[in-house]
Amino acid sequence: MARIKITLPEIFPFYTEMPVRITDLNAVKHLGNVEIMGFIHEARMRFLAQYGFTEIDVFGAGLIQYDAAVVFKSQAFYGDVIKVEVSVGDFSSTGCDFFFRLAHSDSGKEIARAKTHLVFFDYRTQKKLPVPEKFKSLFIIE
Protein backbone atom coordinates (compact mmCIF):
# COMPACT_ATOMS: atom_id res chain seq x y z
CA MET A 1 0.00 0.00 0.00
CA ALA A 2 1.30 3.45 -0.90
CA ARG A 3 2.15 5.83 1.91
CA ILE A 4 -0.22 8.73 2.52
CA LYS A 5 1.19 12.12 1.54
CA ILE A 6 -0.45 15.34 2.62
CA THR A 7 0.59 18.51 0.84
CA LEU A 8 -0.16 21.42 3.10
CA PRO A 9 -1.28 24.84 1.88
CA GLU A 10 1.12 27.75 2.14
CA ILE A 11 -1.22 29.86 4.28
CA PHE A 12 -2.80 28.89 7.59
CA PRO A 13 -5.20 31.67 8.63
CA PHE A 14 -5.73 30.27 12.13
CA TYR A 15 -3.83 28.56 14.91
CA THR A 16 -4.50 27.53 18.47
CA GLU A 17 -2.36 25.99 21.18
CA MET A 18 -3.17 23.05 23.44
CA PRO A 19 -1.17 21.20 26.07
CA VAL A 20 -0.72 17.44 25.98
CA ARG A 21 -2.65 16.10 28.96
CA ILE A 22 -1.82 12.94 30.88
CA THR A 23 -4.97 11.37 29.42
CA ASP A 24 -3.61 12.00 25.88
CA LEU A 25 -0.76 9.51 26.35
CA ASN A 26 -0.76 5.94 25.11
CA ALA A 27 0.95 2.86 26.56
CA VAL A 28 4.42 4.06 25.53
CA LYS A 29 3.83 7.47 27.15
CA HIS A 30 3.65 9.66 24.06
CA LEU A 31 0.71 11.42 22.43
CA GLY A 32 -1.54 8.68 21.08
CA ASN A 33 -2.84 8.45 17.53
CA VAL A 34 -6.49 8.53 18.63
CA GLU A 35 -5.85 11.68 20.64
CA ILE A 36 -4.34 13.40 17.58
CA MET A 37 -7.85 13.30 16.09
CA GLY A 38 -9.12 14.93 19.28
CA PHE A 39 -6.61 17.78 18.87
CA ILE A 40 -7.72 18.18 15.26
CA HIS A 41 -11.39 18.22 16.22
CA GLU A 42 -10.83 20.80 18.97
CA ALA A 43 -8.81 23.00 16.61
CA ARG A 44 -11.56 22.78 13.98
CA MET A 45 -14.18 23.81 16.57
CA ARG A 46 -12.06 26.80 17.63
CA PHE A 47 -11.46 27.71 13.97
CA LEU A 48 -15.18 27.63 13.18
CA ALA A 49 -16.00 29.61 16.35
CA GLN A 50 -13.80 32.51 15.24
CA TYR A 51 -16.28 32.99 12.38
CA GLY A 52 -19.32 32.48 14.61
CA PHE A 53 -19.97 28.97 13.25
CA THR A 54 -20.51 25.56 14.83
CA GLU A 55 -20.41 22.13 13.20
CA ILE A 56 -24.20 22.20 12.98
CA ASP A 57 -24.53 25.78 11.73
CA VAL A 58 -22.34 27.18 8.99
CA PHE A 59 -24.61 29.66 7.25
CA GLY A 60 -27.49 27.30 8.12
CA ALA A 61 -25.78 24.09 7.01
CA GLY A 62 -24.22 21.39 9.16
CA LEU A 63 -20.89 19.70 8.60
CA ILE A 64 -20.17 15.98 8.57
CA GLN A 65 -16.73 14.42 8.30
CA TYR A 66 -16.33 12.35 5.14
CA ASP A 67 -12.76 11.15 5.55
CA ALA A 68 -9.54 11.79 7.44
CA ALA A 69 -5.82 11.19 6.96
CA VAL A 70 -2.93 11.72 9.35
CA VAL A 71 0.81 11.55 8.73
CA PHE A 72 2.92 11.34 11.87
CA LYS A 73 6.26 13.16 11.96
CA SER A 74 7.50 13.09 15.58
CA GLN A 75 6.43 12.40 19.14
CA ALA A 76 4.88 14.66 21.76
CA PHE A 77 4.87 14.04 25.49
CA TYR A 78 3.01 15.07 28.64
CA GLY A 79 3.21 18.82 29.19
CA ASP A 80 4.27 19.69 25.65
CA VAL A 81 2.27 22.54 24.14
CA ILE A 82 1.10 21.86 20.61
CA LYS A 83 0.43 24.56 18.07
CA VAL A 84 -2.32 23.42 15.69
CA GLU A 85 -2.64 25.43 12.49
CA VAL A 86 -5.83 25.21 10.41
CA SER A 87 -6.57 26.03 6.78
CA VAL A 88 -9.41 25.32 4.36
CA GLY A 89 -9.23 24.55 0.64
CA ASP A 90 -9.85 22.11 -2.20
CA PHE A 91 -13.53 22.90 -2.45
CA SER A 92 -15.91 20.49 -4.17
CA SER A 93 -19.59 21.10 -4.88
CA THR A 94 -20.61 19.81 -1.44
CA GLY A 95 -17.54 20.09 0.76
CA CYS A 96 -13.95 21.09 1.34
CA ASP A 97 -10.74 19.94 2.94
CA PHE A 98 -9.56 21.14 6.31
CA PHE A 99 -5.78 21.00 6.67
CA PHE A 100 -3.93 20.79 9.98
CA ARG A 101 -0.29 21.13 10.94
CA LEU A 102 0.58 20.13 14.51
CA ALA A 103 3.96 21.25 15.85
CA HIS A 104 5.74 21.78 19.13
CA SER A 105 4.93 25.34 20.13
CA ASP A 106 8.42 26.06 21.46
CA SER A 107 10.62 24.53 18.75
CA GLY A 108 8.29 24.42 15.75
CA LYS A 109 9.20 20.76 15.18
CA GLU A 110 6.35 19.14 13.27
CA ILE A 111 4.43 16.40 15.10
CA ALA A 112 1.81 15.54 12.48
CA ARG A 113 -0.09 16.82 9.51
CA ALA A 114 -3.68 15.94 8.76
CA LYS A 115 -6.42 16.49 6.26
CA THR A 116 -10.14 15.93 6.73
CA HIS A 117 -12.83 16.32 4.11
CA LEU A 118 -16.02 17.80 5.46
CA VAL A 119 -19.30 17.82 3.60
CA PHE A 120 -22.08 20.32 4.15
CA PHE A 121 -25.05 18.38 5.43
CA ASP A 122 -28.70 18.76 6.40
CA TYR A 123 -29.08 16.60 9.49
CA ARG A 124 -32.88 16.85 9.30
CA THR A 125 -33.16 15.38 5.79
CA GLN A 126 -29.87 13.41 6.02
CA LYS A 127 -28.70 14.83 2.68
CA LYS A 128 -25.63 16.62 1.40
CA LEU A 129 -25.91 20.34 0.70
CA PRO A 130 -23.96 22.59 -1.65
CA VAL A 131 -21.11 24.56 -0.11
CA PRO A 132 -22.55 27.89 1.06
CA GLU A 133 -21.09 30.53 -1.26
CA LYS A 134 -20.58 32.90 1.69
CA PHE A 135 -18.39 30.27 3.39
CA LYS A 136 -16.38 29.61 0.24
CA SER A 137 -15.84 33.33 -0.29
CA LEU A 138 -14.09 33.55 3.09
CA PHE A 139 -11.26 31.37 1.75
CA ILE A 140 -11.19 31.75 -2.04
CA ILE A 141 -9.30 34.87 -3.04
CA GLU A 142 -9.62 35.69 -6.72
Question: Which pLDDT tens digit goes with each residue over 81-100?
Answer: 999 999 999 999 999 999 99
Question: Which pLDDT tens digit goes with each residue over 54-69?
Answer: 999 999 999 999 999 9
Q: Give me the pLDDT at residue 140, please.
A: 77
- Averaged pLDDT for residues 33-37: 95
Torsional sign, CA 118, 48, 45, 125 = negative
Percent of the chain with pLDDT over 70: 99
Q: Give me the pLDDT at residue 142, please.
A: 54
Which domains, from first to last, does the chain contain? 14-135 (3.10.129.10)
CB-CB contact of 73 with 123 (8 Å): no
Q: Give me the pLDDT at residue 72, please.
A: 96
Torsional sign, CA 9, 114, 69, 98 = negative
pTM of the model: 0.95
Within 10 A of 29 (CB to CB), how many other CB atoms are there?
Answer: 11
Q: Residue 2 — very low, low, confident or very high, per pLDDT cuts 50/70/90?
A: confident
Q: Residue 37 — very low, low, confident or very high, per pLDDT cuts 50/70/90?
A: very high
